[in-house]
Structure 1
Amino acid sequence: MKYTLAPLETTVALLDNPAPRAWMSDYRRRGVNVATAAVTILADSLPRAHLPRVPHRRAAALIEAVRELPEHPLTEDRRFLLQGPDDTQVLAQLDEIPLPAGTPPIAALPWWPSG
């Protein structure tokens, strides 16, 4: 399978429309689920010795972070179980997993609502 992103200008033009904007939260949810699946596959199959070959530091940090995390099977969205305060378990999506200091932030996208 090969996936190619459209140029940023094209993506902005497509998503800067009332119809796609109305579904933005659904697009985001599906996107996080697809990203979680991809990161989980890499965490399960990519040897640690090959991790430095991953060209994006944030992706490499996510792959390493989810290696030992159990996934929570009983939610519609893919989530991981993290150790919370007082030994409680916390459900977290891929973009909510704490990463090491110095990990690049999530890329800012001009059409994406912040927060």
Structure 2
Amino acid sequence: MKKIETRQKDIEFKMGKLALWMKELKDRQEKKEAVVRAAQEKKDILIEEVRQHFGYVVSMKDPKFQEMMEQKEKEAKKAGKEMKKKVRVEKATSKALAQAEAVSTGKEIKME
């Protein structure tokens, strides 16, 4: 009898959590779909740029098209790396300026 009661309580507990679990599952699925959509949009933009470069509709299987796609992807990666580097340098510069100001005023600053 005790087994049945504990099993029933377990089922009731899990049924109470069901709505939360379903919401979490839906959120994860939406997040995955958003990532896939963003990647597809990015690829579509690159394809459109390559087609505009040629000035006419080019087959995606054409070697010229594939070369240009690779070139555009490399350019995008390079731009991303440069942006990260710029952010990193700006962060280091602001940190150094804060330290210099703290030293000149004689205050201690919290380091991150």
- With normalisation by structure 1, the TM-score equals 0.27
- With normalisation by structure 2, the TM-score equals 0.28
Larger strand proportion of the pair: 1
* Relative contact order higher in (CA < 8 Å, ≥ 6 apart): 1
